[in-house]
Amino acid sequence: MKQLLLLSGKGGTGKTTVATCLIQLSQAKAYADCDVDAPNLHLVLGTFENHSTKPYYDLPKAVIDPDLCTECGLCHQVCRFDAITRNPYQVIPHLCEGCTYCAHVCPSEAITLEETVAGTIELHTRGDETFSTATLKMGSGTTGLLVTEVKKQIKDKAKFAILDGSPGIGCPVIASLTGVDLALMVAEPSLSGISDLQRVIQSARQLHVPACVIVNKSDVNEELTGRIRRYCNEESIPFLGTIPYDKEAIAAINSGQSLLERGGPASEAIRAIHHKVMKELEAL
């Protein structure tokens, strides 16, 4: 299965809007929302016929049994995550990373590790289409593992899959990049956007994932759009086009319509980009 991942470094550059259009234009049969911290793809894909959900379990977290605890303090001393309070000895669940060090040192076996539900993994289908997404429970941390679970659900469901990624370059992005064939970077013509783009491209390189670049809202700052194009040329990164700022994009999101149905300059630009992205994928 060939997998295309949309990333951007900076948030709010238009990953989800572009992903939605590419899913429709390519008639992708498998797609996933890897932005489990702030998922949105489900809002614009219409309705599905079948739904299944399952709980997502975080690494088990420590729990102290007050009846067995002798208040020796060893657990508090060894915890590197400041997750154990004294008087009374208790675990702060959102700080506990489940390493089990405390349970190993506890002389009275007062500490056990308990599974906690940290979110929900969802699978939606209609006809031969499969859509995987998830929601993270408030106050939970391990988003990288959840991204891996979301990706597993569409593995080998089709010849081609589109994955909508998250901003940043940390664990969810690393988890989403692992094993994909091509990363499409949706950049923004701002000094912030350029700095973020360069960092996410380096992240992809470390994981040996080839990248290509498009610039959204390109007419907000044509000079910086030119700078991104030159940067891509210098670094031999395919530059696949630009999308102008278009109010139709906001209107499409808010009406739950596809930007393609509404038409307009941004919609036209994405159609042209779609052909180039597919060519890049085929060439791999």
Partner 1 sequence: MKIAVLSGKGGTGKTLVSVNLAAVADKGGYFDCDVEEPNGHLFLKPSLIGEEEVTSLKPVVDMDRCDGCKVCVTACVYKALAYIPGELMIFDEICHACGLCTYLCPQQALKETKRVIGTIRRGERGSLSVHTGKMRIGESTGVPIIKKLLKKLDDDLSIIDSPPGSGCLVLETIEHADYCLLVAEPTMFGAQNLALVHELTRVMNKPAGVLLNKVEDGLNPSELYAKEHDLKILASLPYDSYAALESSNAELLVERSEKYRTFFLELLKEVVDEATLAAQR
Q: Which tokens belong to 200?
A: 């996410």
Three-state DSSP state, 35: coil
Please report how close the Cβ of residue 282 comes to partner 1 at its closest, in angstroms: 29
Asked if 72 touches partner 1 (CB under 8 A), the answer is no
Stretch near partner 1 under the rule CB under 8 A, chosen from 45-53, 121-129, 154-162, 202-210: 202-210
Please report how close the Cβ of residue 54 comes to partner 1 at its closest, in angstroms: 20
β-strands 117-126, 84-85: how paired?
A: unpaired
CA-based torsion, 231, 237, 239, 244: positive or negative: negative
Stretch near partner 1 under the rule CB under 8 A, chosen from 47-55, 64-72, 193-201, 259-267: 193-201
Cβ neighbours around 211 below 10 Å, total: 23
- Number of residues that this document lists for the chain: 284
DSSP 103: H
Stretch near partner 1 under the rule CB under 8 A, chosen from 66-74, 150-158, 217-225, 257-265: 217-225
Asked if 94 touches partner 1 (CB under 8 A), the answer is yes
Please report how close the Cβ of residue 245 comes to partner 1 at its closest, in angstroms: 8
Among 24, 166, 176, 242, which residue interacts with partner 1 (rule: CB under 8 A)? 166
Contacts of 66 (CB under 8 A, 6+ apart): 88, 89, 110
DSSP 236: T
Which lies closer to partner 1 via its Cβ, residue 94 or residue 159?
A: 94
Asked if 226 touches partner 1 (CB under 8 A), the answer is no
Contacts of 60 (CB under 8 A, 6+ apart): 98, 113, 114, 115, 116
Q: Which tokens belong to 59?
A: 């690494």
Asked if 279 touches partner 1 (CB under 8 A), the answer is no
Among 47, 234, 254, 282, which residue interacts with partner 1 (rule: CB under 8 A)? 254
Give kind and range of the element (H or E) at residue 211.
Answer: strand 211-216
| Contact residues: partner 1, CB under 8 A | 8-13, 16, 37-38, 40, 43-44, 59, 78, 80-81, 94, 97-101, 104-105, 136, 138-144, 166-174, 188-193, 195-196, 199, 202-203, 206, 220-221, 224, 247, 250-251, 253-254, 256
